[in-house]
A and B are shown apart, each in its own frame.
Chain A
Amino acid sequence: MTTTESDGPMTTEATPQVATVGPRTLAWQRRRHSAVRFWRQYRTHRAGVFGLAALSLFALIALTAPLTVGSDVQSVTGAPGGPMESPSARFPLGTDQFGRNLLGLVVWGARVSLLVGLLAAVLSVAIGALIGITAGHFRGWYATVIMRITDWFLVMPTLVLAIALMTVMSRSIGTIILAIGVTTWPTTARLVRAQTLAVESRPYIERAKALGGGHWHIMSRHVLPNVMPLVLAQTTLIISSAILAEATLAFLGLGDPTVVSWGGLLQDAREAGAVSAGKWWYLVPPGVAIAVVALAFTLCGRAVESVLNPKLGVTR
C-alpha cells in the first residue's frame, strides 16, 4: 500500500521533473525516496532505534568473533582455566565446567544463535508467504485444503512439534533451523493471505488480468510487492521468537552438544549443577544475551511494522 506502483502521489509529483529519464531510473528514484521516507519515520521511534543499535552491536560482535576470540575458545582440551572459576581479571565472566572462558563462549555463541534465528525466521516467513499468497490467489478447494492444514499447524503446540521433529532427525544446526522453520509459519500464512485477498480485490488487478496477466505475473508482480512490507515486519518479529526457540531446544538438550550456543550454554550450566551451586556467572551472561537480542529484534519489528502499516501509523 505504501511503496507500490498503485501509490499515486509520489509518482505523479515526480513525473513532470524527470520527463526525460527512462522508467527504470524512475523506479529507482522512487524506491530511494521511499527508503529515505521510511528511515525518517523509523527514526522517530526511539525504541526502534535502540533495538537497531543493539542489533548492530551484536551483529558486529558475531561477525568479528573469529578475529576477537577465535574458534579455539570452544576447545575443551585446550581450556585455559579451572572448572567454574568465578569472574576475575583474566576471565571477566568466569569459566565454564571445562575451564573455558565464558566471555569468549558467549561471544562465539552469538554466531550460532543469530544464524539459527535469522535462517529459521527466513525459512518460516518464506513458507508462510508462499502458502499465504497462493491460498489468497487461487481460492477454491486449494485454499480450503491449504488453510485447514495451516489451522492444524496453528493449533499444534509449536514447541512439542519442534521437539518431535528434533528427536526423529539427526542433531545438527540444520535440523534446528528446519524444526523451527516448519513449525512457526502458520501465523505468517494467515496474515499474508488476508493481505493478498485485500490486494486482489483492487481494480488494477482486474485490469492486469484483462491485459492478459497470468497467475504468476499477478502473484509476483502485483501481490508480492504489496505484501512485502508485512512480510518484512513479520520476519523481524519472528527472528526473536526463533532465537528463543533455538535457545529453548538447546536448553532441553536437543541441540548438538558440541556446538556452542546460548541455549546450549544454559543447558551445560544446568547439567553441571551451576544452579544449585550458585555459580551465577555461568547462567546470567547467556540468559541476558538471549533476552537482549530477542528484545532488540522485537523493538525493531514493532517499529518497522508501525512505519509500514498505515493502520498503525495513523495513530502516531
Chain B
Amino acid sequence: MNRHDQPNRGRLRLRLLAAAGAAALTLTAGLATPLNPAPQQAQAKGSQQATESKKEGKKVLTVAVAQSVDSLSPFLASRLLSTSIHRLMYEYLTNYDPADNHTVPGLATKWEPSADKLTWTYTIRSNSKWSDGQQATAQDAAWTFNKMMTDQGAATANGSFVTNFRKVTAPSPTQLVIELKKPQATMGALDVPIVPQHIWEKVKDFSKFNNDQSFPIVGNGPFVLTAYKADSYVRLKPNKTFWRGAPKFDELVFKYFKDQDAAVAALRKGEVSFVAGSPALTPAQAASLKGEPNIKVNDAPGRRFYALATNPGAQAKDGKHFGDGAESLLNQKVRQALFMAIDRKTLIDKVFQGHAVEGAGYIPPRFSTYHWKPSASQELAYDPAKAAQLLDAAGYKKNADGKRVEKNGKPIDYRILCHATDPNDKAVGQYVKEWFGKLGIGVTLNCLDNVTDPWLAGKYDLAFDGWSVNPDPDFVLSIHTCGALPATPKDTGATDNFICDKKYDELYDQQLAEYDTAKRADLVKQMESRLYDTGYMNVMAYPNAVEAYRTDQIKSIETMPKAAGNIYGQDGYWSWWSAVPADASGASSDGSSSTGVIIGIVAGVVALVGVGAFFAMRRRATAEDRE
C-alpha cells in the first residue's frame, strides 16, 4: 500500500513559505544583513534546548520527513508515513522478518488453517498490553475485523483484506477464528492494525474520525504516540512493556522539513538524526553527504515502482464512462508505441544517476519471488523507429505539420499529470516530452501540488504513478482489478488507474485462492505479463531508497532486508525499534551547538556595534551640521 503521491494543501503552504523565504534570501542576497542574525540566534536556541535534553540524559531520535499525515486513523490512512507510524503504534496479527521478509509472529503467535483451508485459527499472545494497562485480546482483533466488514467507512484503507471474510469470532481471549468464503492466500499477511475495542467502540463515524483528539493514543506497538501537530511533528514514546523488548531511544520524533535541502542542512548540523529517503535524496545531495564525517548514506534497492500510467478511459462499476482521456490511448498499439518511445536506460543514467534499477515488470526485483521480466520477444524495448511504425499502422499518421492526429483530425497533445513536489516527475517529464515530440506527439506537463482531483475525475491522459510494494503483493495487484473501480463516477474507489481487464481479474482471483507459494508466484507473474502487454502501466524504474543518518547519534539501525535494505518506510517497526543510540552523547554535535551559540553571540555583537556606529555617525553628522 502506501501511496506516495497526493501531497495536500498544508504541504503546499509550508513549501511556499519556505521557498518564498529562500527566494527572498537569494534575491536580496546582498541586502539581507539584518535578517542574518535572526536564524542563527534561533538555531542557537534550538541547540541549547538539545543540549539541555542531553544533560537530562534523554536520547531523542529525530527523523526529518516531508510527507503529510493523511490520517492517524488506521482505518483511513494510506500514505507511507501514516502507515509506518501505525506499524509503530499498533501490533498486527503477523509481521515480516527483517532479514528475508518471511512471515513472523506479531500479535498472533501461531496461525493454522482447517483442512479445507476455509477456517483459520490464530493464537493471540497473552503478553501484549494496551498502553492504558488493559490486556490486548482476541476480542480486540475480532472487533477490528468485524468493524471493517460491517462499516463501509472503516473499510476505506484496508477493506481489500476482509472482502472475502464470512465471519470473525473470538471464542476465548487467546483464540481468533476467521471463516472465509473462498480460500485466501494472504491469511499470513493481513496488514491490518489491530485497535483496542474499548477505545474505538466509542467512535461514531469511522469515515471522519482521524484519531487525533486525545493523546497519548492507546496502542500496543513498540511506541506510543504522545503528540501530533499537522505538518510540524509527530512525537512517540517507547512502550516499556512491549513484548519484544522496549526500544532503546527515549523518544522518536518525526519532524517536518518540507524542503529536502533544508533537511540535509539540518542533518549536517546534527539537528536531526535521520533524513527519510521519501522522496529520495537527490544524486547531488547523496554525493555531497557521502564525504561528510559521522554521516552514513544508505543507498538500497527500493520497494517502490515508478511508472507512467495511461488513462484507459475512466469508468465506474455501474458502467458509466467519465473523464476526458485521449481517444487514441484506448488503442493498445498506441500505448505500446509509447512504451517503445521511452528510453528507460537513459532515465536511470541521467535522472536517477544510478540510484535506481531499470523498470520492467510491475513488482520490484527486491521481491524476487514475484518479480517478473519480459522475455526478449515480449519486451517493448526502446525503438523509436518501430514506435513510429506502430503508430502509422494504428492509423495515427502525421499531418502536414509533422504532428500525429487523432481520428477526429486534431493533433495529439497528451497531458501528463505530474507531482509538483517530486523533482523526478519534472525531470522525467522533460525527457518524455522530447522523445514523444520526435514521434510527432505533443506533451503538456501538468505539474500540480494536488493531483488527486483531476486523477479521481479521470481528467488526464498520462500520469506519473508509484506505489510501495509489500512482501505480499496482493494489495498492489488488487488496485488494478475491476472490483476496485468506484461504484459510480462520483465515488472514490480503491482503483489506481481505472484499469479493468477481464483476463487480469481472472488471474487475480486464482492467485488469491492459491496457497502454494510457487504456483501463486507463477500466477502473479502471468498477471504482470498481462499488465505489461496491455500497455497501461509503463514501469520505468524502481528508485532506490536513498537516505542518510548521523552515526554519532545512531550507533546501529536495522535495514530491511538485512542485506542492502531500506530504513525508512519498512514493512514493520524494525528500524526504529532496533535503533541503538551512540554512547558518547554526540561530542561533535555539542561542539556544533556551542559554535551555534558563539556565532549567534558574535552576530549579535556585530549587529549592536553596527547600530551603535550608525547612531554615532548620525549624531556627529548633526553636530557638524549645527556648527
Contacts and interface: CB of A to CB of B under 8 A. Distances in A.
Contacts of B353: 83
B430 A277 contact: no
Interface string B344-365: 0010001001000000000000
A279 interface: yes
Interface stretch (B111-119, B120-128, B257-265, B550-558): B257-265
A251 interface: yes
B261 A258 contact: no
Contact of A291 (B27, B268, B282, B285): B27
Interface in B430-466: 430-431, 433-435, 444-447, 449
A266 B346 CA distance: 24
Interface in A75-122: 75-77, 79, 83-84, 97-99
A276 B265 contact: yes
Range class of the B interface residue count: 35 or more
B430 A171 contact: no
B431 A248 contact: no
Contacts of B420: 253
A171 B446 contact: yes
A77 B346 contact: yes
A273 B282 CA distance: 6
Contacts of B281: 273
Interface stretch (B16-24, B570-578, B584-592): B16-24
B287 A277 contact: yes
A277 B548 CA distance: 14
B288 interface: yes
Contacts of B430: 76, 98, 257-258
A285 interface: no
A170 B281 CA distance: 29
Contacts of A258: 429-430, 433, 445
Contacts of A244: 27
B264 A276 contact: yes
A271 B19 CA distance: 11
B426 interface: yes
B350 A83 contact: yes
A22 interface: no
Contacts of B622: none
A223 interface: no
B434 A273 contact: no
B29 interface: yes
Given A251-B19, A273-B260, A83 B283 contact: yes
Given A77-B431, A252-B20, A276-B288, A98 B350 contact: yes
Contacts of B282: 271-273, 277
B26 interface: yes
Main secondary structure of the interface of B (DSSP, over half): helix
Interface in A156-182: 159, 163, 167, 170-171
Given A258-B430, A271-B426, A273-B260, A248 B27 contact: yes
A84 B23 CA distance: 21
A247 B434 CA distance: 24
The interface size bin for chain A is 35 or more
Interface string B1-26: 00000000000000010011011001
Interface in B255-278: 259-261, 264-265, 268
Interface in A187-225: none
A258 B436 CA distance: 14
A99 B350 contact: yes
A207 B142 CA distance: 94
B284 interface: yes
B245 interface: no
Interface in B27-47: 27, 29
Residue among A247, A257, A272 with the highest chain B CB neighbour number at 10 A: A257
Contact of B447 (A83, A171, A276, A287): A171
A63 interface: no
A290 interface: yes
Interface string A64-78: 000000000001110
B427 interface: yes
A256 B444 CA distance: 9
Nearest to B279: A271
A276 B23 contact: no
A274 interface: yes
B171 interface: no
B284 A272 contact: yes
A19 B27 CA distance: 57
Contacts of A287: 26-27, 29
B423 interface: yes
Contacts of A35: none
Contacts of A97: 284, 427
Given A77-B435, A258-B429, A248 B20 contact: yes
Given A77-B431, A252-B16, A273 B23 contact: no
A30 interface: no
A45 interface: no
A282 to B, nearest CB: 9
A140 interface: no
A270 to B, nearest CB: 6
B496 to A, nearest CB: 24
Nearest to A267: B19
A62 interface: no
A9 interface: no
27 contacts: A76-B427, A77-B431, A79-B350, A83-B350, A98-B350, A247-B23, A251-B23, A252-B20, A257-B430, A271-B282, A271-B423, A271-B426, A273-B261, A273-B264, A273-B282, A273-B288, A275-B22, A275-B261, A276-B261, A276-B264, A276-B268, A276-B284, A276-B285, A277-B287, A279-B284, A287-B27, A291-B29
Interface of A: 75-77, 79, 83-84, 97-99, 159, 163, 167, 170-171, 244, 247-248, 251-253, 256-258, 266, 270-279, 283, 287, 290-291
Given A83-B283, A271-B282, 12 more contacts: A79-B350, A83-B350, A170-B446, A248-B20, A251-B23, A252-B20, A256-B445, A270-B261, A273-B285, A276-B261, A278-B288, A287-B26
